[in-house]
């Protein structure tokens, strides 16, 4: 707190003091029974004013210390939520301290209760997802047993709907685990081509139903990632491509190495995304004009989850799209530099990987 601000807050007491001193001096000066020299009167007024000023300055330093403690908590922002305020000297400061600390306590209790409630909901969702997978697997086996007994088109449609149910169940599960990501991931070198082919194979019913073609281009690349979470990200991107690509369309995956990073591009020949909506496609719950179409129901969670998980893995997503020509979503895998070794990556140069293998063979216990 600046002294100027402190004086502004005390203009009324200062004005009252000046008025009272002036009035007292005037009464003494005009009283015929007391003959006081003007110099003596001015000396008395000056002395009282100096004492009052000293009291005002001393109180300013005390208020300033208390204001500084409050400012420290303002600057600390979220860290101040666990930082109680020490007791004040005056009754007003003690009241402010008591109110502040009581609000902190109530906030902490509410946050604790909210976190417990969220944990209960998360535990329920996790349990529900695992429980629902049992009857879902049973229905899938039952559908397979109908092969040759019901028309192929109806069986294909049933399998497609089962795939959609399983897809949305997985989406709920991964959404519930988004906040606890740090407890459930393992980074290791992963080959992209087998992973992409596996994800596409799991969504074959969608490709078959809409007669879509798929092609994987580019040489295989090794990236540092978590296989399970990357598989989910790819499933979201390919599912979106299948959903918004008309019958007879084409979906292409391209693996490329730019020298600075590895890129995986998923391109479709779908309806595209309006240019003014492209900057919002990774927002939670954003469905856009395409998601509002009657035949393209969207939750607005797919790309949001894919972007958040990619970010947590150290990757990131970018998107380009042209109306009625298609959309391309790119996963960027930046090279990871080893400590103290400039320009090293996960798998480049090859001499580093060979050196690591040689070191591992020489020290099997490491």
Instruction: Name the residue with tokens 């998980």.
Output: 309
Q: What is the pLDDT of residue 340?
A: 47
Report the predicted TM-score, pTM, of the whole model to 2 decimal places.
Answer: 0.62
In whole angstroms, what is the distance from residue 318 CA to residue 321 CA? Answer: 10
pLDDT for 363 equals 41
- Distance separating alpha carbons of residues 98 and 87, to the nearest angstrom: 8
Under the banding of pLDDT at 50, 70 and 90, the label for residue 337 is low
Residue with tokens 């740090």: 182
In this prediction, residue 182 carries a pLDDT of 62
What are the sequence ranges of the domains in the chain?
3-83, 186-334
Task: Identify any residues that bridge with 263 across adjacent strands, giving them in sequence order.
Answer: 256, 332
Q: What is the mean pLDDT of residues 58-62?
A: 82
The model's pLDDT over 258-281, given as tens digits with 9 standing for 90+, comes to 888 999 999 999 988 888 888 888
- Indicate if the pLDDT at residue 358 is higher than 50: no
- Contact partners, residue 353, CB within 8 Å, separation at least 6: 347
> Could you read off the pLDDT of 23-55 as tens digits, one per residue?
888 877 777 676 777 787 788 888 888 888 888
> What's the confidence (pLDDT) of residue 355?
39
In 3-state terms, what secondary structure has residue 328?
strand
Which CATH entry fits the domain spanning 186-334: 3.40.309.10, 2.60.40.10, 3.30.565.10, 3.40.50.800?
3.30.565.10
- Tell me the per-residue pLDDT of 206-239, one tens digit each, with 9 for 90 and over: 898 889 999 999 999 999 999 989 999 999 999 9
């Amino acid at each position: 707190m600046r002294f100027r601000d402190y004086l502004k807050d005390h203009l009324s007491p200062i004005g009252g003091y000046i008025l009272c001193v002036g009035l007292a001096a005037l009464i003494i000066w005009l009283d015929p029974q007391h003959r006081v020299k003007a110099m003596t009167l001015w000396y008395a007024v000056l002395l009282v004013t100096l004492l009052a000023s000293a009291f005002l300055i001393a109180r300013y330093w005390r208020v300033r210390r208390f204001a500084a403690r409050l400012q420290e908590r303002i600057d600390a922002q979220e860290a101040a939520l666990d930082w109680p305020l020490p007791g004040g000297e005056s009754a007003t400061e003690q009241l402010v301290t008591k109110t502040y600390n009581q609000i902190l306590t109530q906030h902490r209790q509410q946050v604790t209760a909210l976190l417990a409630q969220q944990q209960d909901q998360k535990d329920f969702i996790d349990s529900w997802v695992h429980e629902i997978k049992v009857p879902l697997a049973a229905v899938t086996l039952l559908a397979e047993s109908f092969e040759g007994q019901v028309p192929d088109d109806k069986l294909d449609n049933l399998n497609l709907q089962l795939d959609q149910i399983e897809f949305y169940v997985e989406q709920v599960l991964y959404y519930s685990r988004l906040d606890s990501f740090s407890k459930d991931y393992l980074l290791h070198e992963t080959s992209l081509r087998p992973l992409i082919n596996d994800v596409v194979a799991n969504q074959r019913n969608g490709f078959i139903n809409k007669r879509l073609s798929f092609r994987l281009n580019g040489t295989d690349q090794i990236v540092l990632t978590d296989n399970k979470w990357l598989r989910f990200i790819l499933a979201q991107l390919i599912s979106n491509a299948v959903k918004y690509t008309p019958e007879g369309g084409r979906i292409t995956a391209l693996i490329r190495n730019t020298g600075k990073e590895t890129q995986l591009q998923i391109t479709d020949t779908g309806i595209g995304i309006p240019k003014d909506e492209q900057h919002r496609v990774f927002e939670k719950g954003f469905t856009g004009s395409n998601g509002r179409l009657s035949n393209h129901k969207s939750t607005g969670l797919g790309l949001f989850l894919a972007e958040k998980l990619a970010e947590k893995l150290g990757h990131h997503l970018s998107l380009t799209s042209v109306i009625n020509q298609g959309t391309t979503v790119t996963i960027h895998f930046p090279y990871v530099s080893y400590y103290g070794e400039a320009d090293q990556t996960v798998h480049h140069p090859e001499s580093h990987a060979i050196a690591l293998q040689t070191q591992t063979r020489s020290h099997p216990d490491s």
